[in-house]
Amino acid sequence: MKKDINIIFKDNKKLFLIILVFSFIYGIGNVFVPIFIGNGLNNIVNNNILSIILILFFSYIILFLSEIFASISLNKISSSLSKKLRHNIFKKINTIKISYIDDMQIGDILNLINVDIENIIRVVNQTSFKILSGIVTILGITIVIININLILAIILITSAPIMFIISKFIVNKTNIYFIRRADKISDLNEYSEEIISKYKSIKNYMYEKEAIQKFEQINNNLYNISLKAQFFSALTNPSSRFVINIIYILIGITGAILAQKNIISVGEISTFLIYVNIYTRPFNEITSYITEIQTGIVSINRIKAILDKEDESNIENNNMIKLKKCIEFKNVEFSYKNNKKFIENLNFVVNKNEKIAIVGKTGSGKTTLINLLMKFYNINNGSIMIDGVDIENIPNKILRKNIGVVLQDSKLFFGTIKENISYGNEIIDESDIRNLEEKMNLDSFINRLYNGYDTIIENENMLSIGEIQLINIARLLLLKPQIVILDEATSDLDIVTEKKIQNAIKEITENATSFIIAHRLSTIKNADKILYMEDGNIIEQGSHEELMRKKGKYFELYSYYNTK
């Protein structure tokens, strides 16, 4: 992360130099403009008003241009930083180990790209110039006012920390209540989304009254927290003005007394009164800067955490795998958590073009087995080999190019039906489409869409779950992979549709080594080998007839489903 940000700084050295220069000019301008005004008041009797007005006019023009040029430079830096960070995060998400992604919420990942980057940009864009120019202003004014009058300088210098303490207290209280308010808003949104998404169940069970009552309770909690947050937020400006007014009075009275004794001039008193606002402003604003900087640091650490994650190992090797003999799991051990083994001493062999069915109760390890073969997760010990070659020595791109998968929760991408079918397959023509139509009866639902195969899928609600599965199976049929994985691939199809595409599935599995996970045991009876899994281990394996004769776990499971 540090390296990434240093690259941005390195690429924008000239812009940073410009910002430093204009921050210095802006700070010095804030120091000298009040002096010009004070001198103007002292020399007004000399009828030299025009020259004073011109000096002030050009001074304020310089202040204006300094702020403008600094802002333009900061916008360029922040835009460059934002683009670079988004690129690096998105690239990292596509190269990181899947196990890391599985441990994160989708909302957290999106927040990295949106919220966290914006927090960092806000620090760069809004606070850096203010802090730099504020430091120059405070140091410059401190030197000037001490030289003008030590007594008034002490009053002004000692009042600024008081302003800071009051402002910090109010800002801290405000932040606490706004954080609580954000949590309550989140609760309200989550509950509203739950009720709206499940409104049919609400109506069905006549839960409307209870739903409204719970909503009102959450809404009232939000109302009470919002009142407190807004109250403390509203105190900021009045409190600042109150302290500033007190300082005005002290400097005015003290200055008048000193003027009567000819220790200070009227112009110098005016200079001090102007400095009150300019000098106290950075102290008043620094509290909000601190809050934003702290938020930015938290966001930097979150982004750093994901950018520092280990990428998938992907060795350089352009040799295509060609499954000639078998896939072998040899003494495989795997843990989701380091201290608790899920799979231990797993051994089995799958010969070329064998159809392997994997069955077992939910959570038995069926999908985990597939994830290990796909290298979505790394095994702790042992090896998974294809024709004697450890898959750790096979590049991910090559391995996954030769494995076709249809998952139960397979998704579609934004684009046309045709683009979704050809996803991962660069070449597709009309003859491919016609073959699919014949084998899978795709016309049954595609022809009813407003633009056929060119219909754009803007959201998955346009199609049923079964239709989405059909498209994913069609995609697999076009890829013709050496290894096929069907994880509950037909679970969302009706029996009639499933029977219609059985020939297509049969064609896929006949010329490939296949792994089939299915709850419908009737679909796996013809498998060459059935693996019965329990608690991450293979308890039984064999053909359907062999396992039925054993009258073990598979027999119990099959008998249970047949009696339902």
Question: Which tens digits make up the pLDDT trace of 350-409?
Answer: 888 888 888 888 888 888 888 888 888 888 888 998 888 888 888 887 888 888 888 766
Rg (CA), the chain: 36
10 Å CB burial of residue 429 (0-12, 13-18, 19+) is exposed
Sorting pLDDT into bands at 50, 70 and 90, what band is 560? confident
pLDDT at 2: 47
Spatial separation of the C-alpha atoms in residues 497 and 441, rounded to whole Å: 9
pLDDT (average), residues 113-133: 78
Residue 390 bridge partners (DSSP): 385
pLDDT tens by residue, 124-146: 777 777 777 778 888 888 888 88
pLDDT at 191: 83
pLDDT at 518: 72
Spatial separation of the C-alpha atoms in residues 126 and 164, rounded to whole Å: 19
Query: For residue 443, which amino acid is it?
Result: D
User: Pseudo-torsion of CA 545, 551, 554, 558, nearest 10°?
Assistant: 80
- The DSSP letter of residue 376 is S
Q: Cα–Cα–Cα angle for 305, 309, 314, nearest 5°?
A: 160
Residue 532 bridge partners (DSSP): 359, 540
CA distances in angstroms from 297 to 82, 116, 133, 292, 293, listed in the order given? 15, 10, 22, 9, 6
In 198-345, where does DSSP find H-type helix?
199-204, 208-260, 266-307
- The DSSP letter of residue 493 is S
Q: Is the predicted pLDDT of residue 493 greater than 70, yes or no? A: no
- The DSSP letter of residue 2 is H
Sorting pLDDT into bands at 50, 70 and 90, what band is 251? confident
pLDDT at 4: 44
Spatial separation of the C-alpha atoms in residues 216 and 214, rounded to whole Å: 5
CA distances in angstroms from 368 to 99, 143, 338, 373, 384, listed in the order given? 11, 70, 16, 9, 13
pLDDT tens by residue, 219-232: 898 888 888 878 87
Whole-model pTM: value is 0.62
Residues counted in the chain: 564
Q: Is the predicted pLDDT of residue 270 greater than 70, yes or no? A: yes
Spatial separation of the C-alpha atoms in residues 540 and 556, rounded to whole Å: 12
Count of alpha carbons within 13 Å of 460, Cβ hemisphere only? 14
Spatial separation of the C-alpha atoms in residues 407 and 409, rounded to whole Å: 5
- Beta carbons of 504 and 484 less than 8 angstroms apart: no
Spatial separation of the C-alpha atoms in residues 448 and 381, rounded to whole Å: 52
Q: Is the predicted pLDDT of residue 321 greater than 70, yes or no? A: no
Q: Tokens 């489903």 identify what position?
A: 561
Most confident of the following: 201-215, 381-395, 419-433, 441-455: 381-395
Spatial separation of the C-alpha atoms in residues 185 and 559, rounded to whole Å: 51
pLDDT at 20: 76
Written as one string, the DSSP assignment of 323-369 is: -SSEEEEEEEEE-SBTTB-SEEEEEEEEETT-EEEEEESTTSSHHHH
Q: Tokens 């010969």 identify what position?
A: 351
pLDDT tens by residue, 514-555: 888 876 666 677 788 888 888 888 888 888 888 888 888 888
Q: Is the predicted pLDDT of residue 477 greater than 60, yes or no? A: yes
CA distances in angstroms from 249 to 42, 244, 260, 265, 278, listed in the order given? 21, 9, 17, 17, 16
Q: Cα–Cα–Cα angle for 76, 80, 84, nearest 5°?
A: 170
Average pLDDT, the chain: 77
Question: Which residue ranges form the domains of the chain, and what is each CATH number?
Answer: 82-307 (1.20.1560.10), 326-562 (3.40.50.300)
Spatial separation of the C-alpha atoms in residues 172 and 177, rounded to whole Å: 9
Q: Tokens 């209870």 identify what position?
A: 210
3-state secondary structure of 382: strand
For the ranges 35-39, 166-170, 203-207, the lowest mean pLDDT is seen at 35-39
> Going by DSSP bridges, is the β-strand pair 381-386/389-390 parallel, antiparallel, or unpaired?
antiparallel
